[in-house]
Amino acid sequence: MKIIDKYIYNSLVLPSIFGISIFTFILMLNVLIEAMERLFASDLPFLSVVDYFFYVVPGILVQTIPMGAFLGVMLVYGGLSETNEIIAMEGSGISLFRIIRPAFIFGLILTFIGLGLEIYVNPRALENINKQTKVLLSTRPSSLTEEKIFLTNPEKGFGFYIDKVDNKKASASQFLLLNKQGNNPYPVIFLAENARFDPGIIVLNDVKGYSFDKEGNSQVAAEYKEQQVPISTFFSSGEGEHQKKRSEMNLKELKEFYRNNVNNPDMKEAALKALIEVYQRLIGPLASVFLCWLGVLLSVGNKRSGKGISFGISLIVIFGYIAIVNYAKIMILKNNIPVSVAMWIPNFILFVLCVYFSIKKYRRH
């Protein structure tokens, strides 16, 4: 039996890598498009875009490993069933559950790999992404803004305008910054002759500041030789360095974001989405065990098993699983279903299917 186990393990590796590669490529298409936009629209260095591209890979792999493993199991066990090798194993007294065991252990190994990527590798990759973004904003200001376009951040009451951006010198000229405060309809205005982009900040030179009361009368007029403004000022929530995108937060940051904002009515939905992201990153790796288990049950004893049929069934199950995950998110946001309940529904359905088909196959034998 050890020889058969070794044979199955060896057979599972290449098809699973093939499946993981396919699904990773599909999910990386959006990242590729974003990377190309960064490269051409913002005149960014090619190597920086390549670095960004590869930093994203660990987070994508966490999602695609279960999918690829399921496809690999379906192809391998489907092939064994098609060539009657499964029948030969059963004829020699090997039980169904003994046949399932290699795939189950394979899924368990991939679960630990996925959790390792999510807990240890992905946070470091995300940290590098944010460091890189910080540096790129200081060296390529056009990735932050465009010339002669007024941009606003309504959430923080800021607006700004840059007349000319020089990427080579990481500088800008004729910089206008508006800051709306409280109920005052008139913002505080800062005018700068030029500005320099440094990591994390914009340094304004030769600044003139103007403040107005609620009637529009000038209250304060001040001049500064130099003034520093955090780059995070110009981003809305969920973007930039101070408020990262959820995809750029690690598990600790997502949980912290949830705790800090769940009681704020205006931020409750964003907080729930952060908690959803936490559960999604955990249920993905754990799905590997159930998908590998289910893959064997759907292949063994299927008279029509083959590579084409196995590939088709695997796609149906995978996209069905993704659809259930997305539906669970909707139930959380629209129907106030607890996140800890709704996000485990997809894996629970997989578990029920595994038990159902296991009992069904066992009774046939």
Residue 252: pLDDT band with limits 50, 70, 90:
confident
pLDDT digits (tens, 9 = 90+) for 81-116: 888 787 788 777 788 788 889 999 999 999 999 999
pLDDT of 235 above 70? no
Per the prediction, the chain carries an average pLDDT of: 80
- Least confident range from 71-75, 171-175, 223-227: namely 171-175
Q: Find out whether 196 and 203 touch, Cβ atoms under 8 Å.
A: yes
Residue 36: pLDDT band with limits 50, 70, 90:
low
- Least confident range from 24-28, 30-34, 120-124, 147-151: namely 147-151
DSSP letters of 197-258?
EETTEEEEEEEEEEEE-TTS-EEEEEEEEEEEEEGGGG--TTSTTTS--GGG--HHHHHHHH
| Structure token pair of residue 221 | 């007029």
Residue 242: pLDDT band with limits 50, 70, 90:
very low
pTM over 0.95: no
Q: Exposed, middle or buried by CB within 10 Å (0-12, 13-18, 19+), for 157?
A: middle
Residue 46: pLDDT band with limits 50, 70, 90:
low
